[in-house]
Every structure is written in structure tokens, then in C-alpha cells.
Amino acid sequence: MKKPLTPGEALNKAAAYCTLCERCISEVSAKLTTWGVPYAVQEEIITRLTNEKFIDEARYCRAFVNDKMRFNRWGRLKITAALREKRLPQEYIKEAMENIDEDAYLQSLQETIDIKRRELKGKDDFATQQKIIRHAASRGYEPSLIIKAINYSGDEMDF
């Protein structure tokens, strides 16, 4: 059986965990729980990490939104749901979502649709359109934007 972590060891381990990439309080709390750190000690560790800027939830929200939009091609709805699931404050979520570059967002939606259209072998019937709509909706894009992007055929999208 493993020896339980002392508060100092848990703090150092949590700080190292936070330096790997951006973390939010719920992620750090879950990790401390898996390490067997008591709840009272967890609160002290999280408070210290927050004060020392190892954890910054506003910064985490911005990074999460940027990464999920650029690399995973998630839409606003899915990103917002994921951030809420992590129990982040609504004002941080709202601020991060407002900072999304609209042109990059629409480009990401169009690329998602184009990739799915190619996967479906270029058919352009009603069933294919429904599959594309469902795929884009499962990625978290807004239905009104999906319909406009599917019907788009010119050089510039006019949303």
C-alpha cells in the first residue's frame, strides 16, 4: 500500500501537474482526490495554487475555447457545455466565448462540412444533407449557421 502524501508533497505534485498545461479547479480537485488528499487539505492547496497563478480559470477558459475550436473543430454549443461541465464561472465562459474570431469560426464550420461531404462521396441528396447537418450539430455548431453554410456556394460566406 502506498504511503499517503503529506500536504507539502501534494502541493508540489499539484503544482507540477498545473505546469504541464492549463488546469481548472475541478481538474486539480479531481486529481487530488485520486491521490487520496483529504478535502480540507485540497481546499488549502487549490487556494494557494490560485493565489500563485498556477490555476487561473479565466485563462483556462480562453485556452480551452481556442484549442477546442482550432484543433477539434468544436462549435460554440459544445464548447460551452464542456466548460459548464467543469463548473467554471459563467462570466469567464461568456468572456472566452465572446473572444472567438468570427471569421475563423465560420471557416472551421465550413471545413467541417466540406470534410464530411467528401467522406460521403460527394452525393448531394436530402439524406446526405441530413447526415452533414447531424454531424455539424454533434460538433456543437448552431443550426442556423449550419444551414447557411450548407447552402453556401459563393466566394464569401454572407452570414
> How many angstroms separate the CA atoms of 132 and 99, rounded?
27
Every domain of the chain and the residues it spans:
7-51, 57-98, 102-151
> How many angstroms separate the CA atoms of 22 and 20, rounded?
7
Q: Please give the C-alpha separations between residue 76 and each of 9, 18, 109, in angstroms, as whole numbers.
A: 39, 26, 11
Place of cell 488528499: 37
Sign of torsion, CA 143 148 151 156? negative
Q: Full-prediction pTM beyond 0.85?
A: yes
Q: How confident is the model at residue 34 (pLDDT cuts 50, 70, 90)?
A: very high
Q: What is the pLDDT of residues 63-100, one digit of tens each?
A: 999 999 999 999 999 999 999 999 999 999 999 999 99
Q: Check: CB of residue 146 under 8 Å from CB of residue 137.
A: yes
